[in-house]
Amino acid sequence: PKQVAVFLLINLPSLLTLLGPDGERAWSKKYPFCGGVFQSPIDFHNEILQYDSTLAPLEMGGYNVSSTEQFILTNNGHSVRMNLPPTMHIRNLPSQYTAAQLHLHWGNTNNPEGSEHTVSGRHFAAEVHIVHYNSDKYPDIMTAVDKSDGLAVLAVLIEVRCFACSFLHAQTTVKETLVPGFDVQELLPDRLDEYFRYEGSLTTPPCYPSVLWTVFREPIQISQEQLLVLETALYCTQPNDPAPVEMVNNFRRVQEFDERLVSVSFRQEQYNIICITVSIQALLQKAQNLSLNGIFLYLPVTIAEGKALKSHQRESPPKRPRWPFHKIVHWGCLNIIIRYTPRD
């Protein structure tokens, strides 16, 4: 299919606060919380992880939104943001948390390591954040955003795998588009019972330390073509810029963790054969529409897990390889992933 060059030009003066000229190093001058404690994102490494048997699988309500409803997807100059209906919520947190919006973070074509959170120092290609606010205590997200128990964010790591994706590009300068309702839970991994949990902050100014973070252990997968949409299709150009400016590298660097512990809901060690393809068609198709009005065709959701090949118990965890350690074998666009995951 034919591809044409596209520029999405938007005027967002506040973008200078986020990206330049000094970027996030200058955030704390205007937003003191950005230089404070309990900041996010962080790196999940063995020394700070602590198993918590009370952490239950997450339960979502209202995530399957009828196609007769519509989301608003917006280029806000820093990310792609989709507003979510108040019927979406998380059931089994200390309070009821109602969904407000989701957005993405990514890198660039030369350095496609755009996730905010890392695992044992490893970046992923991108990251999805689904933002909720404490609706038991606060009437809306603007009231909740600076409260210590105000927000709960679900974070999903994204990695690239080889599977088919065809697309058609058409030039436009759309800043906002509508997305037909879909099952937002398709953006989450299959295992909702395995996650990292800690108290942290917003990852953009004003960096309020108001977020209960749930970062899922298992990443979801997209094609290289889908990732390319995020890395090349969106622009954040200012009126005085001599040339269009791509919206890239919209992730914050890893922050110090202040000697806290991260609770984890899992303690397993086994070799699994896993082949996972998660379709995020509705979101990325419409994200491209913000600048391309493009059409994507994706493979359907396919999840297959083989039997554990090896497992054992032990009283104390010895030194272990970085998680996740995996070997990928390619046959065409079929990936067999042999993954090592820890059991304590």
Query: Hey, CA dihedral for 64, 193, 283, 224, is it positive or negative?
Result: negative
pLDDT at 222: 85
What is the amino acid identity at position 40? S
Distance between CA atoms of residues 125 and 116, nearest Å: 10
Are 156 and 83 contacting, i.e. CB atoms less than 8 angstroms apart?
no
Number of other residues whose CB lies within 10 A of the CB of residue 64: 13
Whether the upstream peptide bond of residue 318 has omega within 30° of 0, thus cis, is no
Tens-digit pLDDT string for the chain (344 aa): 212 222 222 223 344 345 544 678 899 999 999 999 999 999 999 999 999 999 999 999 999 999 999 998 888 777 788 999 999 999 899 999 999 999 999 888 888 789 999 999 999 999 999 999 999 999 999 999 999 999 999 999 999 875 544 333 333 345 678 888 999 999 999 999 999 999 999 999 999 999 999 999 999 988 888 887 766 666 565 666 666 667 778 899 999 987 789 999 998 553 333 333 334 555 555 555 554 332 222 222 333 333 333 333 333 333 433 333 333 333 333 333 334 444 44
Catalytic residue among 45, 78, 123, 129: 78
What pLDDT is attached to residue 109?
83
| Secondary structure (H, E, C), the chain | CCCCCCCCCCCCCCHHHHHCCCHHHHHHHHCHHHHCCCCCCCEECHHHEEECCCCCCCCEECCECCCCCEEEEEECCCCEEEECCCCCEECCCCCCEEEEEEEEEECCCCCCCCCCCEECCECCCEEEEEEEEECCCCCCHHHHCCCCCCEEEEEEEEEECCCCCEEECCCCCCCEEEEECCEHHHHCCCCCCCEEEEEECCCCCCCCCCEEEEEECCCEEECHHHHHHHHHCCECCCCCCCCCCECCCCCCCCCCCCCCCEEECCCCCEEEEEEEECCCHHHHHHHHHCCCCCEEECCCCEEEECCCCEECCCCCCCCCCCCCEEEEEEECCEEEEEEEECCC
Whole-Å CA distances, 80 to 46, 205, 233, 329: 32, 16, 11, 33
Q: Are 243 and 141 in contact (CB under 8 A)?
A: no
169 in catalytic set: no
Q: Determine the length of the chain.
A: 344
Residue 157: predicted pLDDT: 96
What pLDDT score was predicted for residue 54?
96
